[in-house]
Structure 1
Amino acid sequence: MANERMERQTRQKEHIREALKECDEFISAQELHRKLEDAGQRIGLATVYRQLNALADSGAADTIRLGGQQLFRLCGDDVHHHHLVCTRCGHTVEIEPPSETWVRRTASKYGFTVSNHTVEVFGLCPDCQKAEEGSAGSKAESAA
């Protein structure tokens, strides 16, 4: 019975990893769970949360907070990296991190030592900027 349970957990973990691999952008546990269910996978939401957090803890997945929820994305490599994240559509681009010298100098300036760091830059991607400009123009036209 223990082997059967372990095999099931391993299969579920692999299904979660595969589904996450298919996502180019960050995704919430709820959205990933829905995607798994739509594909016919019977995996509990709590299991999805647990596995996503385990992937993030091991460094295999990135996690960010956006719009009050935690989002996940499978890392393409083991290289330390940072992101630009669109606050409207969630589009994400990996960016070069600030230099370690800058990080340590800034921390030292305030009496901190650095144990690790994460840099996420939030804003609007070019497509969402265009959409925002278009909707602003439409509002102006309808007001006239």
Structure 2
Amino acid sequence: MTEHVIRQTKQKDAVRKALRASGDFVTAQELHRQLEDDGSTIGLATVYRQLNLLAEVGQADTIQLNGSQMFRMCEDTSHHHHLVCTHCGKTVEIEPPDETWLRKTAAAHGFTVSSHTLELFGLCEDCQQGQ
């Protein structure tokens, strides 16, 4: 870990607090807007940097959704996966797929598994009812 990842700063604390309060996945721009609305003078580049550092050390999850990188505070540091609503961003942690299935599927195509990620995207129940 680099020194700037370990060191606590007012800006890092503000980003972490805002990300935790958001609950679901948000973009850096959305989080920056929220921080500004709360009176913070933190710059967008700093928000990006802090979010990426949090993701790098495993304290935040990150996904790509609709062409945007999104972040969510990660309370569970073990390997996990998500269901993500593409409309409202609601996120639910789900059980990972069976490791045997992963390895069997990879082997059927001549691969060995070194790592995996799995995010399922769709509409949550509330957004389905609103459509």
Q: Per-residue deviation at 1:74?
A: 0.5
* 1:98-132, Cα deviation, whole Å (9 max, x unpaired): 01121122122222222221110111111111111
2:129 is the alignment partner of 1:130: yes
The equivalent of 2:22 in structure 1 is 23
The equivalent of 1:91 in structure 2 is 90
* 1:24-70, Cα deviation, whole Å (9 max, x unpaired): 11000001011111111111101111111111111111111112111
**Structure 2 unaligned regions, length at least 5:** 1-6
Greater mean alpha carbon deviation, residues 117-126 or residues 98-107: 98-107
**Aligned ranges 1:1-144 → 2 under 5 Å:** 10-132=9-131
TM-score computed with the length of structure 1 as normaliser: 0.81
SS at match of 2:9: helix
TM-score computed with the length of structure 2 as normaliser: 0.89
SS at match of 2:22: coil
Amino acid at match of 1:100: E
Amino acid at match of 1:40: G
Moved >3 Å (runs of 4+): none
Over the matched positions of the two proteins, sequence identity in percent amounts to 66
Q: CA RMSD in A?
A: 1.5
Q: Per-residue deviation at 1:9?
A: 7.3
| Structure with the larger RCO, 1 or 2 (CA within 8 Å, 6+ apart) | 2
Distance in 2 separating the partners of 1:35 and 1:9: 21
